[in-house]
């Protein structure tokens, strides 16, 4: 019925912004909240009560860019709409049944048992939506598909889906692991972090800030974490932008190939997320160098407006290669679907 996008992360003004928005609308029947990390105690989308709210605070440091800013909105919503059910929809739930070998880190047993160190995986709401659309596009049931889904946006990850279930993904305990991202580093030799602390005296807070906010495409290019800016800069001869894009697309290919290792076959490669939707140069550079998986370049370039209207497009040339699809990101729609499901609506 209406939407309002804020340019800044939620903060103390969240309640006032939400109040103003709600004043323009009929009272909602329910509220769905995207919460990136569920932590170890919540394994499904769920109603938010006092217990769940306390558990969300407990896991906020595992996804500091996401959960901490979401909580003021949860609190404001519950305060402004106390008689309306509020549902937490988690990005981790899609990966809750990861095989034990895929979710386990090779670290001491105490770290795993006492500290709960394990891999969770993220972007699950996007993957849930993208998987359903892919099944529709290919005319096959979800439980008969083996696909690699790639969410490329501010955060980036890849996921292997076998017969409707996530069996591997590139993100881990936190949304910092895996592919190179807009401002996040992705995977890094843990020895490098120890060396930076010991040799150069960097504190945990300095490492946290650098790896979450000043690395990735921004750190490589020195100018921007936006692939659109970097494609333009590369065309103008910017060597740092060229390096950033080359490193990024190689990281994506590595991630896709590693996910394919958890499948028996590859029925489709699916792109979603802002970069996945709207950056044909990135898609082409990824796919044209993935011939080892049967993926081919020469991809079609749908108009973004058409993609948004139709929701998905098959973009490969359909000449014997692996199907390549683009799915318009549907996290908001998936939150609505999961909220209705939790409430039996």
Minimal CA–CA distance to 42: which of 344, 342, 343, 330? 342
Q: Could you give the angle at the alpha carbon of 23 between the alpha carbons of 18 and 27, nearest 5°?
A: 95
Residue 121 CA to residue 170 CA, distance in Å, equals 7
Per-residue tokens: 227: 């692939």
Of 61, 75, 91, 97, which one is the catalytic site residue?
A: 91
Minimal CA–CA distance to 313: which of 327, 303, 299? 327
91 is annotated as an active-site residue: yes
Residue 175 CA to residue 143 CA, distance in Å, equals 27
Q: What is the DSSP pairing of strand 86-90 with strand 31-35?
A: parallel
Residue 178 Cα distances to 118, 120, 220, 256, angstroms: 14, 12, 16, 11
Catalytic residue list: 91
């Amino acid at each position: 019925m209406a939407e309002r996008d804020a340019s800044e992360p939620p903060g103390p003004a969240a309640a006032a912004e939400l109040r103003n928005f709600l004043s323009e609308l009929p009272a909602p029947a329910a509220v769905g909240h995207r919460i990136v990390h569920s932590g170890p105690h919540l394994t499904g989308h769920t109603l938010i009560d006092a217990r769940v709210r306390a558990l969300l605070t407990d896991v906020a440091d595992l996804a500091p860019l996401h959960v901490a800013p979401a909580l003021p909105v949860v609190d404001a919503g519950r305060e402004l709409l106390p008689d309306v059910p509020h549902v937490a929809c988690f990005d981790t739930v899609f990966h809750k049944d990861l095989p034990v070998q895929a979710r386990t880190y090779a670290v001491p047993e105490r770290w795993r048992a006492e500290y709960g160190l394990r891999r969770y995986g993220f972007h699950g709401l996007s993957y849930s939506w993208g998987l359903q659309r892919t099944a529709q596009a290919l005319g096959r049931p979800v439980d008969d598909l083996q696909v690699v889904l790639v969410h490329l946006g501010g955060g980036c990850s890849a996921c292997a889906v076998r017969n409707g279930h996530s069996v591997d993904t590139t993100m881990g305990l936190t949304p910092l692991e895996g592919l190179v991202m807009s401002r996040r580093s992705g995977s890094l030799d843990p020895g490098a972090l120890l060396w930076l602390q010991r040799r150069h005296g960097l504190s945990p807070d300095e490492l946290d800030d650098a790896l979450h906010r000043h690395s990735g495409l921004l750190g490589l290019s020195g100018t921007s974490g936006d692939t659109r800016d970097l494609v333009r800069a590369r065309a103008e001869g910017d060597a740092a932008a060229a390096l950033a894009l080359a490193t990024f697309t190689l990281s994506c290919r590595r991630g896709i190939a590693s996910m394919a290792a958890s499948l028996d076959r590859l029925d489709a490669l699916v792109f979603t997320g802002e970069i996945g939707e709207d950056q044909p140069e990135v898609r082409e550079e990824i796919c044209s160098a993935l011939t080892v998986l049967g993926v081919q370049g020469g991809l079609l370039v749908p108009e973004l407006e058409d993609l948004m209207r139709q929701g998905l497009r098959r973009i490969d040339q359909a000449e014997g290669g692996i199907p390549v699809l683009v799915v318009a990101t549907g996290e908001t729609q998936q939150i609505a679907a999961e909220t209705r499901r939790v409430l039996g609506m």
